[in-house]
Amino acid sequence: MQRLVLSELSVSGDTETSTGLAQVQRAVQASQRCLVITGAGISVSSGIPDFRSPTGLFHQLKQKYPSSVTNGRDLFDATLFHDASMVNVFYSFMGELRTLIDRATCTPTHAFIKRLDEHGKLLRCYTQNIDSLEKRVGLETAFVQDEDAVDSADSASKRRKQTMDKKFTRAVQLHGDLDTLICTICHTKCPFSHKLALEFREGTPPPCPRCKEIEVIRGIVGKRSQTTGVLRPDIVLYNEMHPQGVSTIKCLNYWMRLLHFTTRMLY
């Protein structure tokens, strides 16, 4: 296995750098299958900060909320929901981050990954990012696709069914995304709209519209009230289970059977 560490290449355009980049070009051109693993760095040039650099999100959070946040990572830990002040900071920050993502544009790196896909070289992209720029550039992130299925009871009628095709998913969002919100009780999902982003920036969790609807119906028919949920970002925090872990493992197992680790590794 040959390893090319891109971060160690100089930006001065010297001979060593030119040789290293030429190796990268030849490696990609010679590869039939490319597996791409990305993190926050590829979105920085779009205006979205990374996490751990001196100017990253963790540092910004500690500066902006010194009385609430001692470690930027704390704001991405599921235990924050046990602290009302942390919940307020979390929602306010997520509203601001959603606004940043709305303004962002896809970077040359996203375009490069899409080009690999168009040329049939991309086996799959795995990303830690929650900005959905992979989806915006045209890479499918869903695990299932809708298909027409003939109802066995009535061959003339058709219904929609969802099937998982391991070749269908082009980019796996390992930590979820900020395109969608999910209810903490009924798990109903809805788009993270501009209006909801403004509500988030106020630091108050918005109520789940589905739970509110059910509560109204229960009141009409004389049933006792139940706990209603609030909307939260559909992302995976530290110390919580991955809701799509099984589907992710199926995808991983699929490409591990196809990809032979006897080739070059670029990182």
Rg (CA), the chain: 22
d(CA 223, CA 219): 6
* Beta-bridge partner residues of 38: 127
Query: Cα(42)–Cα(133) distance, rounded to whole angstroms?
Result: 10
Task: Confirm whether 175 is a catalytic residue.
Answer: yes
Q: What are phi and psi of 57, to 5 degrees?
A: -65, -40
**Dihedral of CA 239/244/250/252: which sign?**
negative
Catalytic choice (175, 187, 194, 260): 175
Question: CA 162 from chain center: how many Å?
Answer: 21
| Bridge pairing between strands 189-191 and 265-266 | unpaired
Catalytic residues: 175
